[in-house]
Structure 1
Amino acid sequence: MERFLKWLLPALIVVEIVLVRGGVLTLGQAVAIVVAIEGGIALIAARQAIVAVRRFRAGRSAGVDPWTAAEDALTVFFPRVMARFLVMEPRVWACLIRWVTRRYRHGPDDFPYHSGSILGIFIVVILFTTPVEILLFELLIPWTWLRWVFLILAIYALVWVFGLYASLVVLPHRLESDGLRVRYGVLYETVIPRDRIIGIEEEQRKVPGGREGLIFPDGETGVAYLSIGGRTHLRIEVAEPVQFLTLTGPSRPIDVLNLAANHADRLSAALRERLPTLSRDDRGPGALPAA
């Protein structure tokens, strides 16, 4: 029923457009059907809005962060992927505002990872290239309205890249009571439960291809890299697979995660101090105990 109602609202809107624009009905019939459809849409929207508010409040009461709770609430109206995109937009802007106004503070359980990010270099590049692009728009495009469209798109893209980099800064890895929350800004996130971690190793690795973000290398089943600047600094092995939340849904199952962190030694020490699955003898720096 939930899935049916989720798709019924956009379906009714499409039917309304077809009936009104297609001209297949008389004016009286079209008006009557449109009124009936509008009434149905209003009833369905009201019912879905109530469910969405209840779902948001339930998520917040359960300790879920506001953005995840909002995404869950929007799934009442939209498929999960669309809901995630709708929430990401204001979240990026919120990260940008926090970064610009310095309204964030990394506590002892926060572990930044953004140093050396390719996005930082990319921002410097586009700061120089964007004015050139805007000048070319003015010189090469004869239509004023189209120049304005490209100008708005260029500025929006610039701001969005700044917002994405800001999310790397203000959303660090975080050691929580139930495990380690691992993130790459607003794009990728997962929580590795403490009782699943069976091995930690401080080890710098170069990511195949030198890429940044969440990488699944060919030929390495269950292995993933969450890299910054094409490198990782910490290797975490888990007893049961974990998955990242990505833009399009859950990632592949991961048994070994190679993770980037600004201070991998501090993160490793903090993890070892709190891990119930590692014996006291295995908590020396750089040791990776057997599963």
Structure 2
Amino acid sequence: MPSNIGTNLKTSLKMGPYLLKWIFQRLKIGPGEYSYHQRSAAMAMTFILIFVVPASIWLLSLMLPWAWVTWVLSLWAVYGLYRVMGLYASMVGLPHKLDESCLLVRYSFLVSGCIPYDSIESVELSREGWGQGGDGLKLDLEEPIAYLNVGSANSIKIGLRNPVTLEAEGMPTPPVSTIFIHADHPDLLVDALQQRLGMAPEV
């Protein structure tokens, strides 16, 4: 239990800077960066809860005769809103990136991986990995394949000549030889990565 509380507290603290930058519109996509957040459940939940949470707190204050219960439930609701908004803001602030030596793939700060360019054998638009369900990292260790789903979908298939490991919540995953990721504009990311690798573009 204490370790779970510590992990949740650490995760919550990491969300703070991204949330502040998002609120004050300081999160911008730079050169070589590719967003993936637009299909995320966190995006929809953020804008729903922004309206629902204040209304819920107001209704609780009218319905409950115990002020302390209203305060506890209100704080819990605000914390839930903070977590959802923080997750979404970190997805906006940590896009995929064509780095100097690798393709940096991400899902918020929860999952990341630096895929060396010389380990990439193929990259293509693909819906082959659809239907995994949910957001975040899914592993199929029999293949082995990693799916970085956003909105239960992914749009790019990356085949590797050398298996790589990803990092999930600070821990390395088993090596994988195929990675499916999502991007809001997958064609742009695929084209840019193929050019970086010297591959012929898809027809």
Q: Under a length normalisation based on structure 2, what TM-score does the superposition of the two structures give?
A: 0.85
- Give the alignment partner of residue 134 of structure 1, picking from 57, 60, 82: 57
1:284 aligns with 2:190: no
Alignment gaps of 5+ in structure 1: 1-78
Matched to 2:166, the amino acid is F
Matched residue SS, 1:262: coil
- Residue identity (%): 32
After TM superposition, give the deviation of residue 162 of structure 1 in Å. Answer: 0.8
Matched to 2:175, the amino acid is P
Contact 1:200–1:286 (Cα < 8 Å) also in 2? no
Matched residue SS, 1:192: strand
CA gap 1:148/1:82 in 2 versus in 1, 3 angstroms: closer
- Give the alignment partner of residue 16 of structure 2, picking from 93, 102, 110: 93
Matched residue SS, 1:120: helix
2: CA distance, partners of 1:125 / 1:191: 34
2: CA distance, partners of 1:150 / 1:83: 22
Structure-1 residue corresponding to 2:178? 256
- The structure with more strand, counted as a fraction of residues: 2
Matched residue SS, 1:208: coil
Structure-2 residue corresponding to 1:42? none
After TM superposition, give the deviation of residue 153 of structure 1 in Å. Answer: 1.4
Cα deviations by residue, 1:26-83 (Å, 9 ceiling, x for unpaired) = xxxxxxxxxxxxxxxxxxxxxxxxxxxxxxxxxxxxxxxxxxxxxxxxxxxxx9x988
Structure-1 residue corresponding to 2:100? 177
Contact 1:85–1:247 (Cα < 8 Å) also in 2? no
- Give the alignment partner of residue 272 of structure 1, picking from 191, 194, 197: 194
2: CA distance, partners of 1:96 / 1:207: 29
1:193 aligns with 2:116: yes
After TM superposition, give the deviation of residue 196 of structure 1 in Å. Answer: 1.0
Structure 1's consecutive aligned runs of 4 or more residues displaced over 4 angstroms after TM superposition are: 81-87, 139-142
- Give the alignment partner of residue 117 of structure 1, picking from 30, 36, 40: 40
1: CA distance, partners of 2:152 / 2:33: 22
- Give the alignment partner of residue 246 of structure 1, picking from 150, 168, 174: 168
Matched residue SS, 2:155: strand
Larger Rg: 1
2: CA distance, partners of 1:96 / 1:162: 7
Contact 1:202–1:285 (Cα < 8 Å) also in 2? no
After TM superposition, give the deviation of residue 268 of structure 1 in Å. Answer: 1.5
Structure-2 residue corresponding to 1:39? none
1:231 aligns with 2:153: yes
Q: Which moved more, 1:204-213 or 1:154-163?
A: 204-213
Contact 2:191–2:201 (Cα < 8 Å) also in 1? yes
Matched to 2:196, the amino acid is R
Matched residue SS, 1:182: strand
Alignment gaps of 5+ in structure 2: none
Q: Under a length normalisation based on structure 1, what TM-score does the superposition of the two structures give?
A: 0.61
